[in-house]
Amino acid sequence: MEIGLDYMQMRSRAQHYGLRLTGIGLLVAGIVLVGIGLAYYGNLYWLRSGVENYAAQRQDATLLNEVTASQDLKNGAIVSAYALPAGAYAETVEELGFTPLKQSDAKPLGTLAPAQRVIVPELGINVTMNQINLTGASIVNDVDGIDPGEYEAVQANPGERGAMWLFGAADKGADAFGGLNDAAGLLTEGNDLLIYVNSGTQIYLYGATHTDVIPADDLRLSSTDRATIHLAVPTPAGLYDHFLVLSGELVGVK
C-alpha cells in the first residue's frame, strides 16, 4: 500500500511539474510572439513615418492649377502638378550635346518609336524597357487602386505629348528603381536631375520637376497634354500602399 501511495504521489508531482513547465513554455512562447508582433508593426511604423520626406520639387518648378494640369483624374491625385519654366535645363541640355525642346515641340501620341532603355545617371538607374514592362505589369496587377487597362492606355512614347508611366522594383541596383529614394534630396539641393530615354534611333532627355508620395488608392495613371515621364516605385520597399513617383518633362533630344 505504501509503495502504491508513493507511486501515486510521485506521479502527481510529475504531472504537476509537467503542467508548470508547459505553462511556462506557453507563457514564454506568448511573450516571444508578442515581441515579434511589436517589432513587426514597429518596423512598419518606422518605415512609413519617413515616406513623406521623399516628396520635393525643383526650386524653379511652377505649380499648375487643376485646370491646366487636368488629367481626368477620377478623384485621384494630380501627379503632373508642376511644370518647368521656360529655359529650365537649357544650358545643361546644350552642354550634353542635345537639342533643347519646348513642350510645343512634342509630337502627337502614337507617332514615335517606343522606348528601349531608361537611364538616370544621378540615381544609378539603367534599365531596359523589357525589364520595366515585366516589373510594371506585376506591380500594377498587385495593386487594387490601379487599373491594368488604364496603365496600357496612357503610355506615351518618348518625345510624344502624353505621360510615360514606368514602374520599377524597389531593389537597389541599376535594373531597379530603388535609387528614386535619393531624388528628393537632389532636387532640394538644386541639382539637375535628368532622365534619358533611348528609343533606339534617338535619345530623349527629360528634366525632373518633382517627386510625390501617393497612396496607392489615390494613384491614377491618367495622361496629360504635356510631354511627361513618371518613374514609380512602391514605398516603403516591399509594401504596395504608397508609391514614390519621380516626374519630369521633355527638355531635349539627340
**Sequence-distant (≥ 6) Cβ neighbours of residue 61 within 8 angstroms:** 82, 83, 84, 85, 88, 209, 210
Whether residue 118 sits in one domain with residue 25: no
Q: Report in angstroms the alpha-carbon separations of 77 from 48, 80, 87, 132, 156.
A: 19, 9, 27, 23, 20
pLDDT at 46: 41
Question: For position 131, which CATH number holds?
Answer: 2.40.260.10
Each residue's pLDDT tens digit, 64-82 = 765 444 444 444 445 667 8
Whether 209 and 236 share a structural domain: yes
Domain co-membership, 26 together with 93: no
What value does the CA radius of gyration of the chain take, rounded to a whole number of Å? 27
Number of domains in the chain: 2
Are 165 and 133 found together in one domain?
yes
**Could you state, in chain order, the average pLDDT of each consecutive group of 10 residues for the chain (254 residues)?**
52 58 67 55 47 79 63 49 86 94 92 94 92 72 59 76 86 83 92 95 95 81 82 77 90 96
Tell me the residue range of the domain where 30 lies.
1-49
> Which pLDDT does position 11 carry in this prediction?
55
**144 and 247: one domain?**
yes
Nearest to 222 by CA among 112, 111, 78: 78
Same domain, 112 and 224: yes
Same domain, 158 and 67: yes
The single-letter DSSP state of residue 182 is: G
My answer on whether 93 and 175 are in the same domain is: yes
Dump pLDDT digits (tens) for 174-198: 778 889 999 999 999 989 999 999 9
- Residue 139 is classified by DSSP as H
E-only strand ranges, 66-134: 82-83, 99-100, 117-120, 125-128
